[in-house]
Structure 1
Amino acid sequence: MLQLSQAGVAGRLTPFSGQIAAGVQLHLVGPNGAGKSTLLARLAGILPGVGEIRLSGVPIDEYSANQLARYRAYLCQQQPPMALMTVFQYLALHQPTGSDESHLEEAICYLTQSLKLEDKLPRMLTQLSGGEWQRVRLVAVLLQVWPTVNPQSQLLLLDEPTNSLDIAQKMALDRLLGELCHSGRTALVCAHDLNHTLQQADQIWLLYQGRLVAQGRAQEVMVPALLSDVYGIDFHLQALGDQNWLIAKAL
């Protein structure tokens, strides 16, 4: 579904090659400044760089802006709310062109109810709390690629999507991403909660100082010795029931 051939960004991300299958939730992990946000922006087609990135066999540079908006959605790390606009108007900006009205209404209701926003639709964006604004942004980007309203969608890119979310909202987002990937879409998530990644991600890419240093499944990447080298702290795995948890302490 997504192929990278020596893709990178000069001075920020060392070129590398890789591929990501459809229906996968892939997490990008690594310390601050590792290149995670740079990679997401490059994959979104909004940051120029070297090498080639293909989405369903077509170089992303050959897609028009409208086509990219149809095939992929991108949530950047930070974005101030727009003034003089309600939540409903903001969501309308992310509705795929030509969507069936009944499917669109159902999707908006489902997504806003899942993230506890149904009562915020008439509110001005500038009147939202930080957590409310983050959830509105998430509903908007999910709506753009939600299968029932956009059958052509393929890719969702999320840069630290759980910022300002409480534990219940994080679990709701997990469920929605699970549904999206189960439908055959791929989600790339920039994340800092390593234990959340350990439990949720199908695939993990570990970045450090602008380089991809490891990729694979959790048991291949979330290795204490490897993480300790990258983060500069001591990690070990602790089994609890049928799950493993990473425990960290200062060296």
Structure 2
Amino acid sequence: MIDLNCDAGEGFGIYNFGVDKALFEYVTSVNIACGFHAGDPVTIGKTVEMAIQKGLCIGAHPSFPDLMGFGRREMNLSFEEIRDYVMYQIGGLYAFAKSKKARITHVKPHGAMYNMAFKDEKIARGIAEAIYLFDPSLVVVSLPESKLLSIASDYGLKTAREGFADRNYNDDGTLLSRKYPNAVIEDPEEIASRTLSMVDGKIRSISGMEINIKVETICIHSDSPNAVSIAKRVREEFAKHGIEVMGLGN
């Protein structure tokens, strides 16, 4: 059993970004941008509605306050700022979900916040405390062996280890930075193969090293040029190998 997730609602105003509607046919959980790196009230509301119509698990996708940089720039913030920014964003999404009699099931940080929480205890603790104070039933999504998952467990929170079939990995299990041209993989066949490997607990790093990786959820990026073809191909391979999918909140 595995969850397939995608980041969603990452447009802003009249600008669309990603292929949410088509991609929602294949994923089981969605992580909705909460306005700090992308998204606005109308976009959030529409994305929540689409997720409900497809029966998907809805998660918050909070970020550093970096709309200009799409949340991909590192920031030096205090523990209190991180905690309060994350809680504020979860609360915004919660209002839309509650208004439609739906619930939030998980939280997955975005961009630089996500990557920095792999090693930075202050950031990880700020995120975990925000989730714990808001709703300790929420699932925390992060890379395996991250500081965030470790601290979240200390708070008694449920966690889900995440893999990225369309991203290259460093030897230490972190994601290869997007500043490198080969950070993102675009070939649906290669991605489908890597996804199956992840389900089996293995992935090859950029250097060719085989890394042991145990994941409960796998992300397909909605901003990939052929994201829908990738998701469709992954689901075909899952069906072929008898792999069942289930959302993070089920």
- TM class by shorter chain equals 0.3 to 0.5
Larger Rg: 1
Which has the larger strand fraction? Answer: 1
- The TM-score with structure 2 as length reference comes to 0.36
